[in-house]
Structure 1
Amino acid sequence: MSQSPRITVIGLGYLGATHAASMAELGFDVLGIDVVPEKIESLSRGETPMYEPGLEEVLRKHVAGLDGSTKRLRFTSSWEEIADFGDVHFVCVNTPQRRGDLACDMSYVDSAVESLAPLLTRPALVVGKSTVPVGSAERLAARLAELAPAGAGARLAWNPEFLREGFAVEDTLHPDRLVVGVRDEESEELLRTVYAGPIGEGTPFLVTDYATAELVKVSANSFLATKISFINAMAEVCEAAGGDVSQLAEAIGYDSRIGRKFLRAGIGFGGGCLPKDIRAFMARAGELGADQALTFLREIDSINMRRRAQMVDLARETVGGSFLGVRVGVLGAAFKPDSDDVRDSPALNVAGQIHLQGGQVTVHDPRAMKNAARVFPTLGYADTALDAVRGADVVLHLTEWGEYREIDPAEMGEAVKQKVLLDGRNTLSAARWREAGWTYRAMGRPNA
């Protein structure tokens, strides 16, 4: 292709909006599509559908053409416009957990291909970025060839995303690796053109078959989930044996074969990816007859979910065995810092459980309170951390926002009824809070 390929992005949620804005930042003309009119309208005004550091700035820059060039980024609801415009079509739709079982819901991906393919009258590359069960690309490639008027000119590639919420723009513009599953050299070369910027910076570009590309994302998420649940399991052992899981994690983290990242014990992982991805991986392995290979992931999932209940149990024990009439201040609602995402959030789940057991719960989060209120409208919400803990019998730190590490324990001590802090993320300084007269407790660590 002599000129720069024109790019479309199908699905404008977290992944799609980030990818569309980042592709424009890399210098491409981009057209995005979504079935939700309100989403198209807000993005066209330069407003993001979610909080992601740096995303709105990049979006506004290219929607408004503020970089001194013509506008590179537009949005539409027309499939005909998408098909006519694009040389490379990125499929970025959601793949949630299917209702009633562990498997992945492929209906959005299937719908995207069914809508686009019949309109592809000239050569084009459809690139899947959504996280899908292994084998999906093979099936979708056949469907694409069957439906597209361009026939063999309509090709499929799979290019899994590895975005971390809070770092998604950086991860798209400067990824730590690029993986593409392709069947022909033409598709590979076109993707090398799309990602010429990151490749030029030294980002590894790995070319695989379809199945391997699909497996990379779920394998990476499963490994990460395993590491997190391992240290949380060690926290349970430390509690039984009288050890300190923070010191344990530090000691084993110095081993270069293990590493120190994601070895902080707490209330576990959540969000829209890890939990549903490992469950879908187990379900797909069962369909392939390889279910025994991933039985360990059932325990990983179990350990993770158990941590939430254990935090609720610890809080109940701390306040005397019952939440009735107890005021609880909660710091954090998002599943992780630098995000407003409350999907499967351990923090919000713990707050909700305590509320359902009779506690008077007030929550603060720097970004996620609107989303949290949609999920748990009966919880109390406060504009500041200090207001959230006012009159509290116990304070729970459940999302590790940086600003919570800067809280003055003495000032907060004047607002609460009882100076009791339960650190569900093991990121606050135990010594600092204890010196200010607080009872500080964290799972897997000694009480004093």
Structure 2
Amino acid sequence: MAYRLTVLGTGYLGATHAACMAELGFEVLGLDVDAAKVASLQAGNLPIHEPGLEDILRRNLANGRLRFTSSYEEAADFGDVHFVCVGTPQKKGEYAADVSYLDAVIESLAPHLRRDCLVVGKSTVPVGTAQRLSDKLARLAPVGEAAELAWNPEFLREGFAVKDTLHPDRIVLGVHSEKPEKIMREVYASMLEHGTPLVITDYPTAELVKVAANAFLATKISFINAMAEVCEAAHADVKQLSLALSYDERIGGRFLNPGLGFGGGCLPKDIRAFMARAGELGADQALTFLREVDAINMRRRARMVDLARELSGGSFRGCTMAVLGAAFKPNSDDIRDSPALDVAVKIAEQGGKVTVYDPVAQENARRAHPELNYGASALEAARGAHVVLLLTEWQEFVDLDPEELGSVVASRKIVDGRNALDAETWRAAGWHYRALGRP
């Protein structure tokens, strides 16, 4: 059977999933309650920066496999499989996740479900959410328990979302019966044929996979950054330490890059929500280590400000600072919980004149922080700067010519917040080079 798919919520996850499932040959209807976003997507314009995605979006709009709506009734009539892709942000003033958008989707969709269908949750949620939503779906849908729920967590990396959707490293599916498994095996048939591992499990395990993965990655990042703190105290080089550790097959080198730490819309809020949910389940002691993971991560930002202040002679007042990078990571325009912007704002609050440049996230940063100055290029941002801070490891910053940059600054001082530059090359060009965790 050729299933027709809907994707409910067209943010980062939803827009990517809708376009990529259409690319796989499905008829797809994307839904969002934001009429302006629907109109923009229907016109072929992405609200996010994601390499390769806009071409896929426009190609599938043109061939008729993809379109967008704001009508839940239309979505219910159209779809056989409904993917729920709304966000679960951190609650204000709490660690816990806000799942109200998920409830709103189920409450809006369910009353229109009058035939057998499958609702598939892809959002990152506190364990126990799927069972609660399954009960609510059966209760509110006219078709009752024939509207089944499956949980299929996403594992997208910003900057690689197209690849991660079309060629995932694994598919996890939480189900309560054989029918959802059969349907999802057909939906993901092309991936399974190429050998993508499939894990069939229950709701709670499927929900835990994503948060457990993010907790592990956050722990690995904070581990090497904790080692950077020790290296600074011991006058050792964390970059060399990381290299030596990476050759141990039990450890590996991925996510073992010392620097400014993690940010974005996933890792920080997911580990906090994981801790909050473990507390509700009476298992809070199992995750107390994540508090230190979070604390190490936030200390990196404070240490970066300290390093910049040291190079500024002990005070930012009267100093011009160039900040290269605003996105939380390269190949993205996402500035949510961006370490780079956090550092820039703190320096400005302490009296520094800060000019920011980012090749993609510039306008998002300007809207969020109009109090900062912005340059049209790395060279323009660095013009007259007393200290340059590299805070997002965009390739164009890694490729900067130290002589060319040196010709526009007031003094050749640089803090490499991502350990992305070759220290000896920059020192040979007369730069005072500093980095987190290095002599």
Q: Distance in 2 between matches of 1:360 and 1:37?
A: 39
What's 2:83 paired with? 90
1:262-300 CA deviation, whole Å, 9 max, x = no partner?
A: 111111100000000000000000000000000000000
The residue correspondences of 1:190-201 to structure 2 (distance < 5 A) are 190-201=183-194
Identity of aligned residues (%): 67
What's 1:408 paired with? 401
What's 1:20 paired with? 18
Q: Distance in 1 between matches of 2:233 and 2:424?
A: 23
What's 1:32 paired with? 30
Question: What's the CA shift for 1:406?
Answer: 1.1
For 2:142, what is the secondary structure of its paired residue? Answer: coil
Question: What's the CA shift for 1:146?
Answer: 0.5
Choose from 24, 34, 58 the match for 1:60.
58
Q: Distance in 2 between matches of 1:398 and 1:335?
A: 9
Choose from 229, 232, 236 the match for 1:236.
229
What's 1:344 paired with? 337
1:14 alignment partner AA: Y
Q: Distance in 2 between matches of 1:400 and 1:375?
A: 21
What's 1:274 paired with? 267
The residue correspondences of 1:7-156 to structure 2 (distance < 5 A) are 7-65=5-63, 71-156=64-149
The residue correspondences of 1:257-336 to structure 2 (distance < 5 A) are 257-336=250-329
Q: Distance in 1 between matches of 2:415 and 2:225?
A: 16
Q: Distance in 1 between matches of 2:101 and 2:345?
A: 30
1:363-388 CA deviation, whole Å, 9 max, x = no partner?
A: 11010011001111111111110000
1:147-177 CA deviation, whole Å, 9 max, x = no partner?
A: 1111121000000000000000110000000
For 1:74, what is the secondary structure of its paired residue? Answer: strand
1:182-206 CA deviation, whole Å, 9 max, x = no partner?
A: 0111100100111111111110011
Q: For this pair of structures, how many residues does the alignment match? A: 439
What's 2:243 paired with? 250
Residues 1:161 and 2:154 aligned together: yes
Q: Distance in 2 between matches of 1:432 and 1:364?
A: 23
Q: Distance in 2 between matches of 1:354 and 1:35?
A: 38
1:48 alignment partner AA: L
1:338-357 CA deviation, whole Å, 9 max, x = no partner?
A: 00000000000000100111
Q: Distance in 2 between matches of 1:56 and 1:426?
A: 31
Q: Distance in 2 between matches of 1:53 and 1:119?
A: 36
For 1:342, what is the secondary structure of its paired residue? Answer: coil
Q: Distance in 2 between matches of 1:329 and 1:81?
A: 50
Q: Distance in 2 between matches of 1:90 and 1:138?
A: 16
Question: What's the CA shift for 1:7?
Answer: 0.2
Question: What's the CA shift for 1:325?
Answer: 1.0
What's 1:391 paired with? 384
1:188-232 CA deviation, whole Å, 9 max, x = no partner?
A: 010011111111111001101000000000000000000000000
1:75-127 CA deviation, whole Å, 9 max, x = no partner?
A: 00100000000000000001000111100001100000010111100000000
Choose from 207, 214, 235 the match for 2:207.
214
What's 1:68 paired with? none
Structure 1, unpaired ranges of 5+: 66-70
1:42-100 CA deviation, whole Å, 9 max, x = no partner?
A: 100111010000110100000112xxxxx000000100000000000000001000111
Question: What's the CA shift for 1:36?
Answer: 0.8
Residues 1:170 and 2:168 aligned together: no
Q: Distance in 2 between matches of 1:304 and 1:13?
A: 26
Q: Distance in 2 between matches of 1:199 and 1:167?
A: 20
For 1:434, what is the secondary structure of its paired residue? Answer: helix
For 1:415, what is the secondary structure of its paired residue? Answer: coil
**Runs of 4+ off more than 6 Å:** none
What's 1:419 paired with? 412
For 2:7, what is the secondary structure of its paired residue? Answer: strand
Q: Distance in 1 between matches of 2:390 and 2:366?
A: 18
Question: What's the CA shift for 1:432?
Answer: 1.1
